[in-house]
Structures are given as C-alpha cells and as structure tokens.
C-alpha cells in the first residue's frame, strides 16, 4: 500500500500517538501544514478506503488508529523508491550517497558498520 506525502503526515501522527480524534489530528498537523479540519477528514477518508486507518466511535468523536505497521509501510516505500529511482539497485543508491559528499563522517561510519554487518 502506497501512502501519499500528505497521508504519511497523518500516519506519522497516528503511529506516534496510537490513536487520535479528528480534532487532535488537526491541532497537531495545522502548525506544520496549515491544513483545516476538512482536509484532515478528506485524508482520513482516503486512508480508510485504502485500509491504512480504522476508527472506533467514542461518544461524539471517532478515534482513528493506524491499521498498518510503520515498518511495513517504510519497507514498501523503500522498495518503491529503489525501483523508481535506481531500478532496484541498492548498490547504485549507496554509491550515489557516498559520492554525493552529503554524508557526514559519522553517517559514513554508520553505513560502513551496517554493510559489514
């Protein structure tokens, strides 16, 4: 399941907080995104249609919860990125990262440890 950038922002809030109402989500997302309550509702509806979120009715409010695991979503996004940008070639991606001079010495050392296992 692919999430749009906007859906990732909503999912991230839900992963961090386990569950949230529309009001809580809007309050947390508005300073970062400028989104109104209607925008959050639209995103939640799309995510429910995809099976990415569920909700429980509590009195007057719905409490939304993530229906997908963050790690699974990250792996799906990583695979999609690798296929789209590097034709699935992890080595080419790592080579580009190393050659870009964007990584700090600490990041390079961390990458080296990961590769060496």
Q: What is the pLDDT of residues 30-55, one digit of tens each?
A: 999 999 999 999 999 999 999 999 99
Residues 18 and 62 grouped into a single domain: yes
36/75 same-domain check: no
Q: Pull the structure tokens for residue 41.
A: 């509702």
User: Parallel, antiparallel, or unpaired for β 61-66 and 20-21?
Assistant: antiparallel
Distance CA 66, CA 68 (A): 6
Q: CATH number of the domain at 13, please.
A: 1.10.10.10
How far is Cα 82 from Cα 71, in angstroms, rounded to an integer? Answer: 16
Q: How far apart are CA 21 and CA 13, in angstroms?
A: 11
Domain count, the chain: 2
Looking at the structure, do residues 77 and 37 belong to the same domain, yes or no? no
Q: Are residues 55 and 82 in the same domain?
A: no
**92 plus 111 within the same structural domain:** yes
Range of the domain at 89: 70-116
- Answer whether 60's CB lies under 8 Å from 71's CB: no
Closest CA to 3 of 61, 72, 89: 72
In residues, how long is the chain? Answer: 117
Q: What is the pLDDT of residue 100?
A: 87
d(CA 116, CA 46): 41
- pTM of the predicted model over 0.75: yes
Q: Which of 41, 66, 91 is the last residue of a domain?
A: 66
DSSP class of residue 54?
Answer: E
The model's pLDDT over 60-116, given as tens digits with 9 standing for 90+, comes to 999 999 999 999 999 999 999 999 999 999 999 989 988 888 889 999 999 889 889
């Amino acid at each position: 399941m692919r999430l749009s950038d906007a859906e990732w922002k909503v999912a991230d809030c839900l992963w961090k907080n386990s569950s949230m109402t529309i009001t809580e989500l809007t309050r947390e997302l508005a300073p970062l995104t400028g989104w109104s309550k209607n925008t959050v509702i639209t995103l939640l509806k799309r995510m429910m249609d995809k099976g990415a979120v569920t909700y429980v009715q509590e009195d007057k409010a719905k409490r939304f919860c993530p229906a997908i695991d963050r790690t699974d979503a990250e792996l799906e996004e990583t695979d999609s990125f690798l296929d789209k940008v590097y034709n699935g070639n992890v080595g080419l991606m790592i080579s580009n990262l190393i050659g870009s001079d964007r990584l700090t010495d600490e990041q390079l050392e961390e990458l080296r440890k990961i590769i060496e296992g």
